[in-house]
């Protein structure tokens, strides 16, 4: 553990301690989680439980291999008042040694940040900056992704604004969150655009006309393993399978998601599977953290894309979040134009970079900026509603002709494990939503939920 007091010009009552392992931090678990819950934006991804999960199962650095943990905790006297989980990569740029520091968690989360109560946040952020500056040549680039405009890390505190560092930024993934201000689906649908209501109702009716429709839903740990396997079946027929964007892309990724959805904390997981004639065609995985719910995974059978099998599942999740009294349904990042049609509020973010002037990363960035200005490339015209990864996948997928069946019947060999997983899901508390119930929850002519 490395400890350093901040100078009196920042806040002499605050000191930063750097922990090199999560085992060292464990005695502070209760205090740090309490700070998270009392912060301006409490979230499951800033809990010690999630950090430990990420550290162990991250597919890129499993078990922390390849980086050095810098877990910074801010104290006022003996009491922790804030923290931020960072990691340091010792690498080489242009053949010369140079190190980069960034957040420990960089995917599957919502806007990583310095965690502190609102009153302490400016002092904690400044103290973290000061501690990082005191590390001499231990790093050349500080890179913090998904930062909002008012992030306390977006500007250098006065003691560091001495010409040694240079700030830069890049576009980053925006966040989309539905703030649940409605009493029920009636009010929610009423605020949707008429086109969105019409599309949702029409696709749901067309889906029900294809065969027997049923939704399986559960947050019971006894049902989750089987429902997770059914989700993987759905994903194997989705566009994600073509570009390696989903749970199934490799064993490390599968393990990461499997361990997360089956862990008792920090999230309470719910999995919903849409069946058509007994075959899983759409799946959605959400997590609940106190009064907030999060969209973790969503997939649907690409052969049925024309009838939008993912949309009613998303509507069911909104309905469930309203029923549980959640304040937010966080759709996480990306595809914000589509998510805004579901009345999500979009928050733009940036990748913030702090370069040590004269370092190799600083020189490389300057050269890159010059090249980009000189070339002035013209980006290809892509609809703002488009999903580039899905477009890439569809180029290799066969689209059914108008007279062709949207899907082929499953063989007995293919259906056997699916039937077994459906049966296993019923060992726990399993909700079954019929076709009539599903259609009744969609917006009809008067966009009213029955």
Q: How far is CA 88 from CA 67, 101, 119, 239, 382, in A?
A: 6, 4, 28, 34, 36
Q: How far is CA 393 from CA 77, 230, 243, 406, 437, in A?
A: 55, 22, 6, 18, 33
Q: Looking at the domain assignment, is residue 231 inside a domain?
A: yes
Q: Are residues 158 and 208 in the same domain?
A: no
Domain span at 290: 177-346+388-440
Answer whether 284's CB lies under 8 Å from 295's CB.
yes
Which residue, 162, 191, 214, sits at the end of a domain? 162
Q: Looking at the domain assignment, is residue 373 inside a domain?
A: no
Q: Decide the pairing of beta strands 350-356 and 345-347.
A: unpaired
Q: Are residues 332 and 426 in the same domain?
A: yes
Instruction: Name the 3-class secondary structure at 378.
Output: coil
Domain harbouring 228, CATH code: 3.40.630.30
List CB contacts of 357: < 8 A, sequence separation 6 or more: 163, 164, 165, 166
Q: Are residues 50 and 123 in the same domain?
A: yes
Q: Are residues 191 and 284 in the same domain?
A: yes
Q: Is the dihedral of CA 63, 68, 74, 78 positive or negative?
A: positive
Q: Are residues 65 and 22 in the same domain?
A: yes
Q: Are residues 205 and 127 in the same domain?
A: no
Q: Looking at the domain assignment, is residue 229 inside a domain?
A: yes
Can you name the residues that pair with 271 across neighbouring β-strands? 218, 285
Torsion of CA 160, 141, 362, 347, to 10 degrees: -90
Q: Are residues 71 and 102 in the same domain?
A: yes
Can you name the residues that pair with 295 across neighbouring β-strands? 286
How far apart are alpha carbons 368 and 29 in whole angstroms?
42
Instruction: Name the 3-class secondary structure at 270.
Output: strand
Provide, for the chain, the percentages of residues in helix, strand and coil under a 3-state DSSP scheme, each rounded to the nearest 5: 40, 25, 35
Q: DSSP character for 399? A: P
Q: Looking at the domain assignment, is residue 132 inside a domain?
A: yes
Q: Are residues 31 and 114 in the same domain?
A: yes
Domain harbouring 114, CATH code: 3.40.630
Nearest to 84, CA basis, from 58, 120, 134, 135: 120
Q: How many CA atoms lie within 13 A of 279 on its CB side?
A: 22
Residue pointed to by tokens 């070339």: 375
Q: Are residues 101 and 186 in the same domain?
A: no
Instruction: Tell me the Ramachandran region of residue 238: left when phi exceeds 0, alpha when psi lies from -120 to 50, beta otherwise.
Output: beta
Q: How many CA atoms lie within 13 A of 105 on its CB side?
A: 23
Q: How far is CA 83 from CA 29, 88, 151, 156, in A?
A: 11, 16, 15, 18
Q: How far is CA 221 from CA 121, 217, 266, 284, in A?
A: 37, 12, 14, 16
Which residue, 133, 162, 191, sits at the end of a domain? 162
How far apart are alpha carbons 184 and 319 in whole angstroms?
7
Residue 284: which H helix or E strand, with range?
A: strand 279-289
Residue pointed to by tokens 């002092």: 123
Which residue, 122, 139, 162, sits at the end of a domain? 162
Q: Looking at the domain assignment, is residue 354 inside a domain?
A: no
pLDDT at res. 19: 97
Q: Are residues 201 and 135 in the same domain?
A: no
Report percent pLDDT > 70 for the chain. Answer: 86
Q: What is the largest CA-CA distance in the chain?
A: 76
Q: Are residues 259 and 282 in the same domain?
A: yes
Q: What total number of domains does the chain contain?
A: 2
pLDDT at res. 8: 40
Q: Looking at the domain assignment, is residue 376 inside a domain?
A: no
Q: Looking at the domain assignment, is residue 424 inside a domain?
A: yes
Q: Looking at the domain assignment, is residue 156 inside a domain?
A: yes
Q: Are residues 154 and 255 in the same domain?
A: no
Nearest to 228, CA basis, from 59, 427, 422: 422
Per-residue pLDDT of the chain (450 residues; tens, 9 = 90+): 655 555 444 445 799 999 999 999 999 999 999 999 999 899 999 999 999 999 999 999 999 898 999 999 999 999 999 999 999 998 777 677 778 899 999 888 999 999 999 999 999 999 998 899 888 778 888 999 999 988 888 777 766 777 778 888 888 889 999 999 999 998 999 999 999 999 999 999 999 999 999 999 999 999 999 999 999 999 999 998 888 888 999 999 999 999 999 999 999 999 999 999 999 999 999 999 999 999 999 999 999 999 999 999 999 999 999 999 999 999 998 888 889 999 999 999 999 888 888 777 777 777 677 776 777 655 454 444 445 555 555 555 555 544 445 566 777 777 889 999 999 999 999 999 999 999 888 886 544 444
pLDDT at res. 414: 78
Round to the nearest angstrom and report the end-to-end CA distance of the chain: 59
440-447: long-range pairs with CB below 8 Å, 24+: 441/185, 441/312, 441/315, 441/316, 441/319, 442/200, 442/201, 442/204, 442/312, 442/315, 443/189, 443/192, 443/197, 443/200, 443/201, 444/201, 447/186, 447/189, 447/190, 447/192, 447/197, 447/201
Residue 289, preceding peptide bond in cis (omega within 30° of 0): no
Tokens of 329: 């349904």
Nearest to 105, CA basis, from 51, 61, 141: 51
Nearest to 281, CA basis, from 254, 250, 303: 303
């Amino acid at each position: 553990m490395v400890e350093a007091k901040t100078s009196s010009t920042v806040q002499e009552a605050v000191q930063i301690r750097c922990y090199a392992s999560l085992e060292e931090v464990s005695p502070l678990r209760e205090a740090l989680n309490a700070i998270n819950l009392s912060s301006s934006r409490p979230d499951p991804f800033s809990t010690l439980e999630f950090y430990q999960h990420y550290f162990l199962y991250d597919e890129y650095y499993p078990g922390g291999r390849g980086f050095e943990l810098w877990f910074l905790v801010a104290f006022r006297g003996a009491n922790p008042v804030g923290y931020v989980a960072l990691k340091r990569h010792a690498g080489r740029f242009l053949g010369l040694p140079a190190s980069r520091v960034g957040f420990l968690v960089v995917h599957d989360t919502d806007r990583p940040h310095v965690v502190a109560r609102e009153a302490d946040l400016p002092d904690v952020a400044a103290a973290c900056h000061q501690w990082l500056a005191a590390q001499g040549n231990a790093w050349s680039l500080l890179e913090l992704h998904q930062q909002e405009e008012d992030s306390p890390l977006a500007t250098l505190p006065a003691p560091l604004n001495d010409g040694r560092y240079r700030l830069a930024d890049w576009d980053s993934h925006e966040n989309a969150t539905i703030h649940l201000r409605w009493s029920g689906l009636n009010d929610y649908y009423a605020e949707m655009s008429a086109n969105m209501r019409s599309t949702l109702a029409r696709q749901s009716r067309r889906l029900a006309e294809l065969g027997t429709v049923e939704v399986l839903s559960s947050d019971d740990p006894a049902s989750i393993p089987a429902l997770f396997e059914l989700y993987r079946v759905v994903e194997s027929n989705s566009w994600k399978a073509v570009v390696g964007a989903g749970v199934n892309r490799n064993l490390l990724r599968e393990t990461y998601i499997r361990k997360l959805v089956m862990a008792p904390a920090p999230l309470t997981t719910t999995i919903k599977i849409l069946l058509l004639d007994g075959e899983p065609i759409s799946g959605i995985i959400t997590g609940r953290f106190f009064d907030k719910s999060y969209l973790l995974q969503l997939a649907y059978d690409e052969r049925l894309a024309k009838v939008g099998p993912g949309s009613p599942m998303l509507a069911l999740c909104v309905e469930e979040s309203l029923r549980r009294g959640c304040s937010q349904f966080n759709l996480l990042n990306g595809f914000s134009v589509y998510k805004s049609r579901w009345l999500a509020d979009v928050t733009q973010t940036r990748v913030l970079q702090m370069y040590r002037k004269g370092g190799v990363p600083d020189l490389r960035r300057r050269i890159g900026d010059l090249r980009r200005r000189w070339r002035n490339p013209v980006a290809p015209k892509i609809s703002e509603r488009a999903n580039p990864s899905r477009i890439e996948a569809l180029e290799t997928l066969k689209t059914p002709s108008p007279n062709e069946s949207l899907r082929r019947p499953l063989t007995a060999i293919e259906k056997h494990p699916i039937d077994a997983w459906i049966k296993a899901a019923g060992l726990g508390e399993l909700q079954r939503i019929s076709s009539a119930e599903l259609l009744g929850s969609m917006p009809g002519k008067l966009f009213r939920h029955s």
